[in-house]
């Protein structure tokens, strides 16, 4: 029983991280139709930058949360630059976008390897979150519970931003019909940069807060990107609710699959994606794009 409870908490925690990673991925794809294959790299770069400050590799040791904010802002800026300088020049050309973002992700992986070496970096759990929460049904690592809480806070904040503000309505209008959004005067190209920076920052934030659980290592990007893809395909691109539900589902499939059917873990993960692609290509919460 405890085994399943722990597995459940781990699944929800992982789902929370995946949500932070995939919400931006989904928005970028929904709004800009760009399959951003650097998204795993943004997660990894955020984790590396954050870890550098938390561990004090450059001689500067920062508080975990301050390091997380710095890493988030740095990667958001990196995302905005990539959008302005590269992706903007390839509008509507998905093959070129795939190739450019894939190429960037290889370059990022090499750069990280050169800068941080091949050994994994273990990120210490932030102060005060190292213990366990004891409840009537068992004890759970406090940090994992905190990650779940953070993901829920971000989900609510993102929902408020997208659903309750004019900026959010403009972003959704851009997802609905980019040409019409421009016709009514919305500066869609500015929205693109904002959304890309937001998505990159969220991915980086997920990377650093995932650090104490996953650690930071070469190949982290390639481990995370397919999971974000599965989330977006399951949930539907451009849908925040879809990302949320998709992330939790993938969190469960990944953890339960690895624990109960380790030899079939990827089968368990990708089979539902295959079925969704066949039966409901727009995803569970996505709208059909003609």
Partner 1 sequence: MATSALSLSHIDAFYGDSHVLADVSFELGEARMLGLLGRNGAGKSTCMNVTMGLLPPRRGTVAIFGQSVSGLPPEQIAARGVALVPQGRRIFKSLTVRENLIVAARKPDAGSKHAPWTIETVFGMFPRLSERSGQIAAHLSGGEQQMLAIGRALMGNPRVLLMDEPSEGLAPQIVAEVMATIRKLKESGLSIVLVEQNPKLVFDVADDIVILNTGQVAVVSTPSALSQDGVDLRQHLGVF
Q: Identify any residues that bridge with 121 across adjacent strands, giving them in sequence order.
A: 216
Nearest partner of 204 among 80, 29, 60, judged by Cα: 80
Work out how close the CB of 217 gets to partner 1 at its nearest, in angstroms, rounded to a whole number.
40
In angstroms, rounded to a whole number, what is the distance separating the alpha carbons of residues 280 and 187?
32
Among residues 170, 197, 229, 240, the one that binds partner 1 under rule CB under 8 A: 170
Q: What share of the chain is helix, strand, coil (3-state, %, to 5)?
A: 75, 5, 20
- Binding of partner 1 by 161 (CB under 8 A): no
Copy the structure tokens of residue 237.
């691109």
- Binding of partner 1 by 89 (CB under 8 A): no
Among residues 32, 34, 148, 181, the one that binds partner 1 under rule CB under 8 A: 181
- Torsional sign, CA 49, 53, 57, 59: positive
Work out how close the CB of 286 gets to partner 1 at its nearest, in angstroms, rounded to a whole number.
11
- Coil, strand or helix: which one is 140? strand
- Binding of partner 1 by 288 (CB under 8 A): no
Q: Are 99 and 35 within 8 A, CB to CB?
A: no
Q: Identify any residues that bridge with 141 across adjacent strands, giving them in sequence order.
A: 132
Q: Are 237 and 26 within 8 A, CB to CB?
A: yes
Between 183 and 212, how does the x/- string for binding to partner 1 read (CB under 8 A)?
Answer: xxxxxx------------------------
- Binding of partner 1 by 180 (CB under 8 A): yes
Work out how close the CB of 187 gets to partner 1 at its nearest, in angstroms, rounded to a whole number.
5
In angstroms, rounded to a whole number, what is the distance separating the alpha carbons of residues 60 and 167?
37
- Binding of partner 1 by 289 (CB under 8 A): no
Work out how close the CB of 225 gets to partner 1 at its nearest, in angstroms, rounded to a whole number.
27
Q: Which stretch binds partner 1 (CB under 8 A): 54-62, 87-95, 180-188, 213-221?
A: 180-188
- Binding of partner 1 by 179 (CB under 8 A): yes
Tell me the Cα Rg of the chain.
19
- Binding of partner 1 by 160 (CB under 8 A): no
Work out how close the CB of 88 gets to partner 1 at its nearest, in angstroms, rounded to a whole number.
13
- Binding of partner 1 by 93 (CB under 8 A): no
Task: State the residues that interact with partner 1 by CB under 8 A.
Answer: 166, 169-170, 172-173, 175-177, 179-188, 287
């Amino acid at each position: 029983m405890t085994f399943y409870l722990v597995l459940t908490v781990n699944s929800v925690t992982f789902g929370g991280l995946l949500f932070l990673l995939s919400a931006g991925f989904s928005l970028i794809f929904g709004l800009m139709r760009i399959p951003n294959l650097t998204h795993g790299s943004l997660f990894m770069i955020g984790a590396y930058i954050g870890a550098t400050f938390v561990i004090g590799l450059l001689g500067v040791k920062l508080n975990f949360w301050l390091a997380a904010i710095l890493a988030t802002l740095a990667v958001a800026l990196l995302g905005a630059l990539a959008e302005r300088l590269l992706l903007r020049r390839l509008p509507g050309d998905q093959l070129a976008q795939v190739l450019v973002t894939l190429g960037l992700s290889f370059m990022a992986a090499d750069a990280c390897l050169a800068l941080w070496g091949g050994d994994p970096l273990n990120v210490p759990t932030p102060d005060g979150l190292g213990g366990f929460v004891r409840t009537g049904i068992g004890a759970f690592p406090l940090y994992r519970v905190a990650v779940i809480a953070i993901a829920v806070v971000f989900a609510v904040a993102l929902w408020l931003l997208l659903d309750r503000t004019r900026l959010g309505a403009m972003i959704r209008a851009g997802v609905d019909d980019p040409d019409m959004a421009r016709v009514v005067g919305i500066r869609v190209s500015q929205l693109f940069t904002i959304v890309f920076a937001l998505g990159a920052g969220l991915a980086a934030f997920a990377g650093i807060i995932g650090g104490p659980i996953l650690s930071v290592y070469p190949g982290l990007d390639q481990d995370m990107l397919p999971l974000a893809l599965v989330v977006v395909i399951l949930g539907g691109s451009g849908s925040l609710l879809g990302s949320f539900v998709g992330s939790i589902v993938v969190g469960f499939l990944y953890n339960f699959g690895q624990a109960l059917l380790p030899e079939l873990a990827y089968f368990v993960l990708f089979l539902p994606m295959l079925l969704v692609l066949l039966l409901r290509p727009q995803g569970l919460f996505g709208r059909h794009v003609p």
